[in-house]
Amino acid sequence: MLTYVLERIFGLIPVLLGVSVLVFTLTWLAPGDPVVALVGESAQGISREALEDLRRSYGLDRPLPVQYWDYLSGALRGDLGRSVRSGLPVAQEIGMRFPATLRLTLAGMAVAVTLGISLGLLAAVYRRTVIDYVAVVLALIGVSVPVFWSGLILMIIFALELGWLPASGSGSWQHLVMPAFAIGFASSAFIARITRSSMIEILRNDYVRTARAKGVVSWRVNVRHAFRNALLPVVTVVGLQFGSLLGGAVLTETVFAYPGVGRMLVDAIRARDLPLIQGTVLFVSVVFVLINLVVDVSYAALNPKIRYE
């Protein structure tokens, strides 16, 4: 088990290195000049020499390999640079916004796991019935509907028409309800489909039929015998969806004006704030990779075949 965990940890090194190269390269290939974006409309009245001095003060005049090495060495020390727009350290900017994104992600995962596992279990147990068909249709809707569209529909219904919930912002649990449901509904569709297929496969096994033949109560067979053995692929999908929600809340936070990391990234892209873009994307990538590592370790803990190997 320890060998497996160490192999997974060492396997993360080239992945993170590749992510850093991609992030740095893609941000520089994007159109626009960060110095001009920083100065704004007054850039037309500034001389070329003043712009070059400003670019030199931020180290943007050096060769790209030198800039990447400084960026990588700083990231290894925990220094992600300073935001061109605010002047604050990127790590501090992320630290101020990440708790809000984490709260939204946890709330969205609570919605996704509750809906997904419930729909998947009902669809598998009552296969080829009305309940199964309804669950499959809901899963298809969840996969097909974009998050920004469902978010706007929720705002129109519950904020504008009914007035039950605030349309945007943060500060109370009411602000989390609509964003969490919007971001969790799509993930619940994936979880429901995996739960359904895994449960159907397990319910066909001989030991399940034997338990039923012995007169074991139906719910006990479905929950204690079948569902426990169907958890392996479900745990994997839940972990991957958690990482996706944590890094993919950009649209949801933008639609609901939620002050999280995703909205900060959108604002940084608009302002062409390269250090903030690079630091945010790298941070989200590291979190996603670490979540995958936790999922792999938990999968190995749940699967005796991997644990014994």
Range with the lowest mean pLDDT among 22-31, 130-139, 203-212, 297-306? 297-306
- Between CA 90 and CA 84 the distance in angstroms is 9
Q: Which overall architecture, per CATH, does domain 90-308 show?
A: Orthogonal Bundle (1.10)
- Between CA 164 and CA 160 the distance in angstroms is 9
- pTM of structure: 0.76
Dihedrals phi, psi of 82, to nearest 5 degrees:
-120, 145
pLDDT band at 300 (very low <50, low <70, confident <90, very high): low
Instruction: Work out the mean pLDDT of the chain and round it to a whole number.
Output: 77
- Domain residue ranges of the chain, discontinuous segments joined by +: 90-308
Q: How confident is the model over 157-180, as pLDDT tens digits?
A: 888 888 888 877 777 778 888 888
- Residue 128: per-residue pLDDT: 81
Enumerate residues 6+ apart whose C-beta is below 8 A from 160: 167
- Residue 21: per-residue pLDDT: 85
- Residue 36: per-residue pLDDT: 65
What the block records as the tokens of 240 is 């991957």
Q: How confident is the model over 50-85, as pLDDT tens digits?
A: 667 767 766 667 777 887 888 788 888 877 777 777
Q: How many CB atoms lie within 10 A of CB 31?
A: 5
- Between CA 90 and CA 109 the distance in angstroms is 27
| Section 89-112 average pLDDT | 86
- Residue 308: per-residue pLDDT: 47
| Nearest Cα to Cα of residue 190 among 261, 245, 247 | 245
Enumerate residues 6+ apart whose C-beta is below 8 A from 187: 108, 109, 112, 116, 142, 241, 244, 245
